[in-house]
Structure 1
Amino acid sequence: MSIQRSPPHKYSGSQPDLSKLREEALLNVSDRKRKMPECSCDFEDKFSQLQQNLIASINVTLEKQNKNIQSALDLLRDDLKGFRQEMRDIKDKIQNLTIEHTKINNEIRDLKSSNTINNNKIDSVTKSASEMQSTIKDLSEQLQVKEQQGRLNNLEIAGVPIRKGENLINIVHNIATKIGFPLTSSDIDYVHRVRRFTSNKSNSDGQASGESSQDSSTIPNIIIRFTQRKRKSEMLAAVRARRELTSADAGLDGASKPIFINDHLTPQNKLLFRQARLLGKEKDYKFIWLSDCKILMRKSDDSKVIHISNIQDLAKIK
C-alpha cells in the first residue's frame, strides 16, 4: 500500500513567508475596519433613539406615578387630618365623660353618705316607733286594766226590754227579790242603761218608741254600780244559783224573754270572752266563766285553770 502525502500547502517550502502573511492580515483588518463604521453608526443611532424613547416613557410613567402618589398622599393627608380631628373630638368627649363620671361618682358618694345618714335616721325612727308602739301597747293594756278595774263594782243586765217611763231601780229590786238576794238602797250607787241603739228608730230622748221594734242584740243593757264590791259579788252568786232569769222576773209585762246578768266587761274583754268561748267550745272545754271580770277556763274537773287576759293568751287553749 502506497503512502500518500498530505496535499501540498499553498505555502510551499520549509518555512512560510511571514512578511506576506502579515501584509495579508493587515489588509484584511483594514478591509473590516472600512466596513464597520457604517453598521456601528446606524446601531448607535437606533440605540440612542431607543434609549431616549425609553427614558421618555419612563419619565412619563414616573410623572404619572408621581401624580398618583401625590394624589394618594393628598387624600391620605386629608384622611389623616380628619382622623386627627376625630381623635381630638374623641379626646374632648373622653375628657367630658371623665368629668361627668367624676361628677357622678361624687354625687353617688354624696348619695351613699346621705343614704347612710337617712338609714341611720330611719333606724332611729323605727326604733323610736317600735318603742312608742311598745309604750302605747303597755299604756293601752294599763288603760284597759284600769278601765276594767273601774267596772269591778258593776253588774250588767242584758235582754231587759225598754218600757217608756221605766224605773230601773224597781227592775233591779224585782230581780233581787226573785233570786232571793236582800238588796238595799244603800247597796246601789247608780243604775243606768248603756246606749246600744243601731238601726232601730228612737225618739228624742234615746228610748225606743215601742217594744215590737226591739231586738235582744240592740236593747241597751242595764248597768248597776254597787257601793261595795262584796255586795256585787254576792248578788252575782245568787243570780248564778238561780239561773234562767226572764223579763217576767224583772216585773215586766208582755212576752217573757230571757235576761242575763254578769260582770260588766269592757268592750275589748267582751270580745275576748266571746272568742274564748268559741275556741273553748271547739276544743271541748267544760268550764268557761267570769270571776271578778277575769276570764277563766278549765277543760275538765281536774285540769288546770287558764286565765285569759289578752288576745295572745288564746294560744293557751289547746
Structure 2
Amino acid sequence: MSLVQRSPAKSSLHLSDPNLSTSSEVASRNMKRKHPDCELFDAFSSFSAEIKKTLGDWRLDLSTNISHISENINNIRSDLDKLTAATSVIKNEMNELQTNQKELEKRVLTLESNQSSVNKNFTEIQSSTQFLASQNDDFIRKIAILESGKKNTDQTSDAVFILESKIDSLEQQARQCNLELSNVPEKRGENLLSLIESLGTLINLQIQQRDIISVHRVPHAQPDSTRPKNIVVKVSSRILRDNILSAFRLKKGVMANELGLSNNTKHKIYCNEHLTLSNKKLFRECREKAKKCEFKYVWVKHATILARESDHSPVVAIRSHKDLSKIKPRNAGH
C-alpha cells in the first residue's frame, strides 16, 4: 500500500498574529464604553434621589393627613358622646310624656264618667222640678179656694190637712236618695267622705266619693240633746241608697269601734232613710205603741212606716196618726 502524505502544519506564529490584533481592538472598544455606563449610573442615582424625596414628601403628607383624620375621629367621637347624652335625655322626657299622657287619659275617663252621672242627676232634678211646679200650681189653686171662703170649716180643715200631707210627701220625695246615720261619735276635723267610704268597706259594699253628692251633720231637733249630731248623706241614686240600707241590715249592727271612732264595744251606729220631721215623729210614736202592744217588727221602707206583730202576721202600713189604731194588743179582739 502506498502511504498518503499529510500536508505540513501551519506555523503557529502565523496563526497568532490575527488573534492578537483582534484582542487589542476588543480591549480598545471596552475602554471606550465605560463613559456611557457612568452616565447611566449617575442618572439612576439622581432618579433614586428624586424618588426618595418624593416618597419622603408623600410620607410627610400621609402623616399630616393621618393626624387630621385622627383629630376628626376624636371630634366625631365627642359629638357622638354628646348626641348619646342628648338622646338619653330625650328618651327620659318621652317616657315622662307617655306617663303624663296615660294619667291624662285616666282623668279624662273619670271626668266622662262623672259627666254621665251629673247628666243623669240633672235629668232627675228636672223631672222633680217639673213635678214640684205642677204640685205648686195645685196648691195655689187650693189655697185660693180656701181664701175665697167657698168651703165650710170642716172642708177647710180637711183641705189644710191634705195640703200639709202633700207638702210633707214632696219633702220626703226630695229626700229619696238620702241616708241618715245616727249615734256616730263626733270628732274635731273629721272627714265625713272617708268615714262613708270606710262604712261601705265594713258592710261589704263599695262606696266611692263620686257616688256621694253631699254629706254633713244636721242640728238636733232638741237643742239640749247630748247625743251626736246625725249625719245626712245624699248619694247619686235611689238604687244605691237602697243597696246601702240592705247591706247595713245584713251586717246586723255596726259598732263605732269598728270604724275607729270609739273604744266602747257597745256603741252602736244606726242607718235609716232620711225622714221628714213629721214622719220621724210618727215613726217614734209607732215604735212606742208597737212596744206596748208587743209587736215584733217596726221598720221603714220607701218612706212608709211598716209594722208586723209576728213573723206570720200581716204587715200594717202606718201613713198617719189615724193609722196608729191598727196597732192593737194581741188580745184586744177577744
TM class by shorter-chain length? 0.5 to 0.7
Given that residues 174 and 250 in structure 1 are in contact (C-alpha distance below 8 angstroms), is that contact kept between their aligned partners in structure 2?
yes
- Which residue does 2:246 correspond to in 1? 237
- Which residue does 1:309 correspond to in 2? 319
* Greater C-alpha Rg: 1
Unaligned 5+ runs, structure 1: 1-123, 201-214
C-alpha distance in 2, partners of 1:273/1:126?
36
Given that residues 174 and 251 in structure 1 are in contact (C-alpha distance below 8 angstroms), is that contact kept between their aligned partners in structure 2?
no
SS at match of 1:191: strand
Asked if residue 132 in structure 1 is aligned to residue 156 in structure 2, the reply is yes
Match of 1:189 among 213, 219, 224: 213
Cα displacement string for residues 180-227 of structure 1 (whole angstroms, at most 9, x for unaligned residues): 111122321110111127237xxxxxxxxxxxxxx32xx210001111
Cα displacement string for residues 156-203 of structure 1 (whole angstroms, at most 9, x for unaligned residues): 000112111111111111111111111122321110111127237xxx
Cα displacement string for residues 237-281 of structure 1 (whole angstroms, at most 9, x for unaligned residues): 010011221222333254452211111111111111111111112
Give the number of equivalent residue pairs. 179
Given that residues 155 and 264 in structure 1 are in contact (C-alpha distance below 8 angstroms), is that contact kept between their aligned partners in structure 2?
yes
Match of 1:224 among 214, 218, 233: 233
C-alpha distance in 1, partners of 2:248/2:281?
23
Given that residues 179 and 242 in structure 1 are in contact (C-alpha distance below 8 angstroms), is that contact kept between their aligned partners in structure 2?
yes
Given that residues 154 and 225 in structure 1 are in contact (C-alpha distance below 8 angstroms), is that contact kept between their aligned partners in structure 2?
yes
SS at match of 1:224: strand
Given that residues 153 and 232 in structure 1 are in contact (C-alpha distance below 8 angstroms), is that contact kept between their aligned partners in structure 2?
yes
C-alpha distance in 1, partners of 2:311/2:186?
40
C-alpha distance in 2, partners of 1:143/1:302?
35
Question: In structure 2, do the counterparts of structure 1 residues 135 and 302 end up closer, same or farther at CA, with 3 Å as the change threshold?
Answer: same
C-alpha distance in 2, partners of 1:142/1:165?
39
Unaligned 5+ runs, structure 2: 1-147, 329-334
The one-letter code of the counterpart of 1:252 is L
SS at match of 1:300: coil
Given that residues 175 and 249 in structure 1 are in contact (C-alpha distance below 8 angstroms), is that contact kept between their aligned partners in structure 2?
no
1:302 is displaced (CA, Å) by 2.2
- What aligned pairs does 1:1-318 form with structure 2 within 5 A after superposition? 128-196=152-220, 198-199=223-224, 215-216=226-227, 219-256=228-265, 257-318=267-328
The one-letter code of the counterpart of 2:201 is T
SS at match of 2:181: strand
The one-letter code of the counterpart of 1:146 is L
SS at match of 1:249: helix
Identity score, percent: 33
Q: 152-161 or 256-265, which moves further after superposition? A: 256-265
Given that residues 285 and 300 in structure 1 are in contact (C-alpha distance below 8 angstroms), is that contact kept between their aligned partners in structure 2?
yes
SS at match of 2:257: coil
C-alpha distance in 2, partners of 1:179/1:163?
22
SS at match of 2:189: coil
C-alpha distance in 1, partners of 2:169/2:149?
29
Tell me how large the CA RMSD over aligned residues is. Answer: 2.0
Given that residues 192 and 223 in structure 1 are in contact (C-alpha distance below 8 angstroms), is that contact kept between their aligned partners in structure 2?
yes
SS at match of 1:248: helix
C-alpha distance in 2, partners of 1:227/1:151?
12
C-alpha distance in 1, partners of 2:156/2:198?
50
The one-letter code of the counterpart of 2:208 is T
SS at match of 1:237: helix
C-alpha distance in 2, partners of 1:286/1:136?
35
C-alpha distance in 1, partners of 2:288/2:153?
34
**Structure with a larger share of its residues in helix:** 2
Cα displacement string for residues 142-164 of structure 1 (whole angstroms, at most 9, x for unaligned residues): 01111111111111000112111
1:128 is displaced (CA, Å) by 3.4
C-alpha distance in 2, partners of 1:128/1:283?
38
TM-score, length-scaled by structure 1? 0.53
SS at match of 1:230: helix
SS at match of 2:152: helix
Question: In structure 2, do the counterparts of structure 1 residues 283 and 253 end up closer, same or farther at CA, with 3 Å as the change threshold?
Answer: closer
- Which residue does 1:49 correspond to in 2? none
